[in-house]
Amino acid sequence: MLKLPLKFNNHYDCRLCVGSGAVESLPDVWEDEWQAAAVIGDSNVIGLFGEQIEKRLRPLVEKMIILQFEPGEQSKTRRVKEKLEDSLLDAGFDRSTCVLALGGGISIDLAGMVAATFMRGVPTVNLPTTLLAQVDAAIGGKTGVNTRHGKNLVGVFHQPSAVLVDTNLLDTLTPDEWRNGMAEAVKHAVIADGEFFGWIEANVPALLSPHGVDSYLVQRCIEIKSAIVMEDERELGQRATLNFGHTVAHAIEGATSFSVSHGLAVAAGMVVEAGVAVEKCDFSSDSLRRLRRLLESLLLLPKLDLGFNDVNPFFKADKKRRDGRIRMSLPASLGRMARNDEEYTLSVEPELIHRSWRTNLCKSD
């Protein structure tokens, strides 16, 4: 099992355990002062793992509560966050509380934001149960909720005290949930490790489902993301590279009211943004073809019945937008992102995005 401390602000404040059976490390990371445990996850994941987690926590705390919400992006809102907080207050929880965020990216983001604001901030332990959460959402301390204006527009950085990445939990994933995580794994390879990209290409048959998957996939993604966020915790520079594909992805999610899964949206976003990079950053056409071929082989690029005019309004809500201009983090090559001095995002004209959308993705308007 891989055990790492993550270092932020010149001190270690997050313990990371990765591998088969990592959930068994829960007593090892639990602090004596955490006398109350609040387990937060959606109803599906609570049904799968709630009893198991409760048995491990009961001997460690004086009081415990399990809070659940309806699965899906529609629950990642300020209203649901308020209900969770009110439940904690009604039950008399205080600053001795530790929140255990159990589940996928939505649970990690929502529970993390509850922890960040409850009593002006209490500790969090992340226990991600999906590939997407294990390789991405659980690492780095981003929390947030969606609004009618766009995705993740309200949130705060709140580093977890520990992250337990138990690869055994991936066996419960549906094919769609697995593919969501594979899209993020490909993204990690594009932004930071060309050899890892080649490894994914060479192992596609084994990566089409979680059964028997090599733990190297999860560990390498975590190494990549951990290295980036430890250098740039607050996304003032290099951490922006983790948003590759996400400007277009969030627009697709918004335009379809989240009926397109996050993984498929990110895959489509990477193809469009890589097409922009061909024109703007000298990203090679061959690299774009390799990226598209890999995403297709991983069943991540179905046809979208969506035109550019459908997604264009949602670019106005992107968090990276500055001075009214769309900004993207774009690849210079497979494994290396483009930079302009210390800037890791580049201003992109809407016409470039439209042209790449029309050429590389789906129907024109």
Whether residue 141 has pLDDT greater than 90 = yes
Over residues 342-363, mean pLDDT? 89
For residues 235 and 272, the model is more confident at 272
Q: Is 211 a catalytic residue?
A: no
Whether residue 353 has pLDDT greater than 90 = yes
Token look-up 């509560």 returns 65
pLDDT value for 303: 82
Token look-up 């439209």 returns 354
pLDDT value for 201: 97
Helix axis angle for 262-280 and 246-255, nearest 10°, is 130
Please enumerate in sequence order all residues whose Cβ is within 8 A of that of 55, keeping only pairs 6 or more positions apart, or say none: none
Instruction: From the candidates 158, 188, 246, 327, give the one annotated as an active-site residue.
Output: 246
Q: What is the DSSP-derived secondary structure letter of residue 239? A: G
Q: Is 184 a catalytic residue?
A: yes
Mean pLDDT of the chain: 92
Residue type, 2: L
Give dist(CA 158, CA 155) in Å, integer.
9
Instruction: From the candidates 250, 280, 327, 354, give the one annotated as an active-site residue.
Output: 250
Please enumerate in sequence order all residues whose Cβ is within 8 A of that of 45, keeping only pairs 6 or more positions apart, or say none: 102, 103, 104, 107, 129
CA nearest to 352, candidates 282, 298, 278: 278
Token look-up 């009961």 returns 58
**pLDDT tens digit string along 68-102?**
999 999 999 999 999 999 999 999 999 999 999 99
Instruction: From the candidates 177, 223, 233, 235, give the one annotated as an active-site residue.
Output: 235
Q: Is 316 a catalytic residue?
A: no
Instruction: From the candidates 55, 120, 148, 303, give the one annotated as an active-site residue.
Output: 120
Instruction: From the candidates 15, 179, 220, 225, give the one annotated as an active-site residue.
Output: 225
**pLDDT tens digit string along 178-217?**
999 999 999 999 999 999 999 999 999 999 988 867 789 9
The pair of structure tokens assigned to 186 is: 């490909």
Give dist(CA 34, CA 29) in Å, integer.
11
Over residues 137-153, mean pLDDT? 92
pLDDT band at 287 (very low <50, low <70, confident <90, very high): very high
pLDDT value for 99: 98
Instruction: From the candidates 146, 180, 243, 360, give the one annotated as an active-site residue.
Output: 243
φ and ψ at residue 321, rounded to 5 degrees: -60, 140
Instruction: From the candidates 15, 151, 158, 262, give the one annotated as an active-site residue.
Output: 262
Q: Is 262 a catalytic residue?
A: yes
Instruction: From the candidates 15, 81, 142, 280, give the one annotated as an active-site residue.
Output: 142
Q: What is the DSSP-derived secondary structure letter of residue 137? A: I
pLDDT band at 4 (very low <50, low <70, confident <90, very high): low
Token look-up 């949206």 returns 265
Q: Is 220 a catalytic residue?
A: no
Instruction: From the candidates 81, 187, 239, 327, give the one annotated as an active-site residue.
Output: 239
φ and ψ at residue 274, rounded to 5 degrees: -65, -35
Q: What is the DSSP-derived secondary structure letter of residue 213? A: -
Whether residue 163 has pLDDT greater than 50 = yes
pLDDT value for 364: 47
Domains of the chain, earliest start first: 2-172 (3.40.50.1970), 175-360 (1.20.1090.10)
Q: Is 243 a catalytic residue?
A: yes
**pLDDT tens digit string along 110-123?**
999 999 999 999 99
pLDDT value for 343: 87
CB-based contact 298:186 (threshold 8 Å): yes
pLDDT value for 1: 64
Give dist(CA 310, CA 348) in Å, integer.
18
What share of the chain has pLDDT > 70, as a percent?
95
Q: Is 73 a catalytic residue?
A: no
Whether residue 316 has pLDDT greater than 50 = yes
Whether residue 323 has pLDDT greater than 80 = no
CA nearest to 69, candidates 55, 53, 86: 86
**pLDDT tens digit string along 220-267?**
999 999 999 988 888 889 999 999 999 999 999 999 999 999 999 999
pLDDT value for 11: 56
Q: Is residue 35 helix, strand or coil? A: coil
Q: State which H helix or E strand residue 36 sits in.
A: strand 36-42
